[in-house]
Structure 1
Amino acid sequence: MIGPPANTRIWIAAGVTDMRSGFNSLAAKVQTVLEKDPYGGHVFIFRGRRGDLLKALYWSDGGLCLFAKRLETGRFAWPRAETGVVALTTAQLSLLLEGFDWRQPVEAARPRSAL
């Protein structure tokens, strides 16, 4: 997925979602459960029960886009909450999509500057 525009918010739908859901079901979930506008240009991320599949719903250029990503091994890191939404930064989204734990990224060791 190419990075969203700078003013785009990225939302994770906490809990699990039926991954058989398509455009209409996910848009309805965004409206009713998450109480957000699925046509507002924001990205909404959903995860299935097994944790190895994500779907992202995104409104762009007059139409809904639905992206999916499945991990061959491991599970996507997910919030512990059963309901609600969690906001992500674009950096956290990148970590999530690569299969890393976006909740606690480890900072790379930096060389100490000489005083």
Structure 2
Amino acid sequence: MIGLPQGTKVLFFTAPTDMRKSHCGLSGLIRNELGGDPADGTLFLFLNRRRDRLKALYWDRDGLALWYKRLEQGTYERFRTTEDSKAIEIDATDLAMLLSGVSIQSAKRRKRFSRAA
């Protein structure tokens, strides 16, 4: 599991991604498709078409770091979006469930207190 600092933003790219892309190719996707900056501290997640491979790109203090995981069996869950967004924001709990194979769509969250923004 990736150790994330408190408050790290996690963006899940919803379109299938070519897993041959490395730091530069994924950075280009972030800039061109999402209009984001790969060095802003956000963790960016990418899945391949078969959903058995996941790449995570993030800025690690002094450079880009790439984390890659290939499943031997099964698939990762793909998030369904109703809008035409190219990425959705998930939290650290959703990330942990995604990596562990828990279905996020069917999980129910209990009501919790949160401060008004």
Question: What TM-score results when the alignment is normalised by the length of structure 1?
Answer: 0.85
Q: Is the partner of 1:49 in helix, strand or coil?
A: coil
Q: Which runs of 5+ in 1 are unaligned?
A: 108-115
Q: Which runs of 5+ in 2 are unaligned?
A: 110-117
- 1:41 lines up with 2:16 in the alignment: no
Larger radius of gyration: 1
Which residue of structure 2 lines up, in the alignment, with residue 97 of structure 1? 99
Distance 1:35 1:94 in 2: 26
**Deviation at 1:83?**
5.2
CA contact (8 A) 1:9 1:87 kept: yes
1:53-64 correspondence to structure 2 within 5 Å: 53-64=53-64
1:61-76 correspondence to structure 2 within 5 Å: 61-76=61-76
What RMSD, in angstroms, separates the aligned Cα atoms of the two structures? 1.6
Q: Render the CA deviation track for 1:26-49: whole Å, top value 9, x for unaligned.
A: 011011101111100110000001
**Deviation at 1:55?**
0.2
Which residue of structure 1 lines up, in the alignment, with residue 7 of structure 2? 7
State how many pairs are aligned: 107
Distance 1:105 1:80 in 2: 14
Question: What TM-score results when the alignment is normalised by the length of structure 2?
Answer: 0.84
Distance 2:52 2:61 in 1: 29
**Deviation at 1:106?**
5.2
Q: Is the partner of 1:33 in helix, strand or coil?
A: helix
**Deviation at 1:105?**
1.8
**Deviation at 1:8?**
1.1
